[in-house]
Amino acid sequence: MANAATPETVYTWSVNSVYVYPEKDGVTNFVCTIHWNCSGTNGTVTGSLNGATGFAPKSNASYDDYDTLTPEQMIGWVQEQMGPERVAEVEADIDSQIANTAVPAPLPW
């Protein structure tokens, strides 16, 4: 009997909170830390990981007004700062959580 295919894990990145410097190197409300969550769902099983990523001002960079920033933009910054290897490690950690989660089973009788 063949095993049923395991569904793919769907990852969702979100922003939990943001810390800003009210003024930093001429920038108002400079985002210095983003606290984030990555959750993954595979079928009915979930896993998640929280983290924080820090940022420093870059010379000759342009900055968007704080009030116009979006969660997608901030998650993009987080993932860029982390790099693809660390993003993959976060998602692999969630996969491990999911793989090692006990799930309810129907009674065998």
The confidence band for 61, taking pLDDT boundaries of 50, 70 and 90, is: confident
Q: Strands, E, within 1-109: which ranges?
A: 10-24, 27-42, 45-54
The confidence band for 87, taking pLDDT boundaries of 50, 70 and 90, is: very high
* Residue 98 to residue 109: CA distance in whole angstroms: 27
Token pair of 73 as six digits: 């933009």
pLDDT of residue 3: 40
Token pair of 70 as six digits: 């979006």
- Closest alpha carbon to 49 in 25, 77, 78, 20: 78
**Alpha-carbon distance values, 54 to 74, 79, 89 (Å):** 11, 12, 18
pLDDT tens digits along 90-100: 999 999 999 99
Residue 7: CA count within 13 A, CB half-sphere: 11
Classify residue 100 by its DSSP letter.
T
pLDDT tens digits along 30-40: 999 999 999 99
Token pair of 81 as six digits: 């700062």
Residue 31, judged by CB atoms within 10 A of its CB (0-12, 13-18, 19+), counts as: buried
